[in-house]
Amino acid sequence: MRRFRDALAREIRDVVQPNVVGVGGITPLLRIAELADTYDVPVAAHRRPAP
């Protein structure tokens, strides 16, 4: 989450694309989405494809 917060604070993202598996599940993903909303940045969540 720290990387997303830093990127949003520095205004270097137009869209946030958290990987639901990579960030630790749905709860951290929702926190990132909430954070992105405070910066008025859209979120396009995704997941890793199955091997």
pLDDT tens, residue by residue, 1-48: 888 899 899 988 889 999 988 899 999 999 999 999 999 999 998 877
User: Which domain range does residue 10 map to?
Assistant: 2-38
Q: Is residue 50 part of a domain?
A: no
Total tally of structural domains belonging to the chain: 1
Give the DSSP per-residue string, 30-41.
HHHHHHHHHTT-
Q: Is residue 46 part of a domain?
A: no
Residue entry with tokens 């890793």: 48
Q: Is residue 16 part of a domain?
A: yes
Rounded CA-CA distance 42/51 in Å is 28
Q: Is residue 43 part of a domain?
A: no
pLDDT at 13: 80
Q: Is residue 47 part of a domain?
A: no
pLDDT at 29: 94
The pTM for the full model equals: 0.82
pLDDT at 51: 64
Q: Is residue 45 part of a domain?
A: no
The DSSP secondary-structure symbol of 47 reads -
